[in-house]
Copies of this chain bind each other. A is one copy, B any other.
Amino acid sequence: MTVRIYNLGMRISDIGEFGLIERLSLIVNGDLIGDDCAVVEIQGSKLLLTTDALVEGVHFLKDSGPESIGWKAVSVNVSDIVAGGGRPMWILISLILPDIKVSFVERIYEGISSACKFYDCRVAGGNVSKGEALIIDVFALGKTSRPVGRGGAEPGDLLFVSGTLGDSRAGLELLKEDRKSYEPYELALIERHTRPTARIDYANHISKYAGASIDISDGLLLDAEHLAKRSGVRLEIDSSRLPISEELKRFCAERGKDPIEYALRGGEDYQLLFCHREKDMNPFLDMTVIGKVSEGTGVFVDGDRMGGGFSHF
């Protein structure tokens, strides 16, 4: 039996999103909670379940294109399914809507529809509720032959990421400048923020080879912390190996900023962080070795213990 003592004054911002999730998972015996997906077995089939919401003003700006919002809402959930070693099958859409224009909602749904075609999954149903702010909450159900969690990293593994890191944060900063026009390289960065693509092309690779995997939604450092903690290992990252896009290099060069900072702490890239043995590398995927797994705890960059990342609270 667990005895919990309520601290009546404590607010969510005092303990953060992850502190809150830990406390809540105690209440529902949440040995299941803590990976990108929950794994449930039904008559021999291994299913992955996940949910992620996009909230107006928090995850997207009010004047974002509605198709992009719909696309992104599906993509962030598919990203969790892929990180869990699966492929998406069914999506449910729960919309919280102010009394906005019908055409705006229809265009969100067109983004949802394009994303489902791209990821080869289907909308099984949904719900519509009235509310003050626009929220698109998505539930995804996927299948897997071998679920992958955050807890299976082993010393001796190499640490990999897919794609490039930090682009989404640069794109968000550009969006917030709210300019009348942008250069092509800037538009490319904005697109990475507003229309991220879940790495469905990694689904087989993750399921087949990854010991542990997580999608990078809160920034590399913070997500690496989750993986290190749950696996009980140390992650050693070599900052000179971090994959940086040409666009981000130019963005940083023109503004006197450090692209490594963007790659380490930028959120919402929806790339994958995963580990396995060197021999299982796949030259046909855009994966980069960024470091290795060793015995110990914590995340180290160029030998220094790191902390922090990105939280909405």
Contact = CB atoms under 8 A, between A and B. Distances in A.
Interface of A: 4, 6-15, 17, 20-21, 23-24, 27-30, 32-33, 35, 37-38, 40, 42-45, 47, 49-53, 55, 57-59, 89-90, 92-94, 96-97, 99-103, 105-106, 109-110, 112-113, 116, 122-133, 135, 137, 139, 141, 143, 312-313
A12 B112 contact: no
A17 B82 CA distance: 33
Nearest to A110: B27
A313 B99 contact: yes
Contact of A99 (B13, B37, B52, B139): B13
B43 A96 contact: no
Number of copies: 2
B20 A105 contact: yes
Nearest to A13: B99
Contact of A40 (B21, B27, B49, B124): B124
A149 to B, nearest CB: 12
Given A99-B12, A127-B52, A42 B40 contact: no
Contacts of A42: 42, 45, 47, 89, 143
Contacts of A10: 101-103
Contacts of A52: 94, 127, 129
A10 B102 CA distance: 6
Contact of A313 (B9, B17, B130): B130
Contact of A92 (B14, B21, B24, B139): B139
Given A27-B109, A58-B130, A312-B129, A92 B8 contact: no
Nearest to A17: B128
A135 B94 CA distance: 11
A112 B28 contact: yes
Contacts of A135: 96, 129, 131, 135
A137 B126 CA distance: 11
A139 B102 contact: no
A114 B6 CA distance: 18
Contacts of A110: 27
Contacts of A32: 122-125
